[in-house]
């Protein structure tokens, strides 16, 4: 195969990997495609199961932390909106508290 064919094949591999990752089919980690300057010895070094597990665990922890932070921020906003609503309701009562000026009997 000529160098042009190899480059065209690498472009097709890159396009296929991108399509698979965007569609959700490519959920499993794929090994990077070696570039023209990569030696053949580096191509055959596959990550161990422990390396993959560690990488996935780190990624999941980052996503979990983001979601947790987002939920905490949403709770703070909800509390602030709730307190503003309570203040407005108290203002509509003219500052009267229960029992002030409303005596039975």
Tell me: the pLDDT tens digits for 36-88? Answer: 666 555 556 777 889 888 988 999 999 999 999 999 999 999 998 888 777 77
Residues with Cβ within 8 Å of 9's Cβ and at least 6 positions away in sequence, in order, are: 1
pTM above 0.95, yes or no: no
Whether the CB-CB separation of 32 and 40 falls below 8 Å is answered with no
Long-range pairs for 20-24: beta carbons < 8 A, 24 or more residues apart: none
Biggest CA–CA distance in the chain, Å, is 104
pLDDT value, residue 98: 52
Domain edges within the chain: 1-45, 47-94
């Amino acid at each position: 195969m000529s160098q042009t064919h190899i480059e065209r094949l690498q472009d097709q591999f890159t396009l296929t990997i991108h399509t698979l990752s965007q569609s959700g089919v490519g959920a499993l980690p794929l090994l990077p495609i070696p570039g023209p300057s990569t030696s053949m010895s580096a191509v055959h070094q596959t990550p161990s199961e422990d390396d993959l597990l560690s990488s996935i665990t780190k990624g999941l922890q980052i996503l979990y932390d983001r979601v947790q932070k987002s939920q905490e921020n949403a709770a703070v906003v909800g509390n602030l909106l709730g307190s503003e609503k309570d203040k407005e309701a108290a203002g509509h009562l003219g500052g009267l508290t229960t029992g002030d000026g409303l005596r039975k009997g």
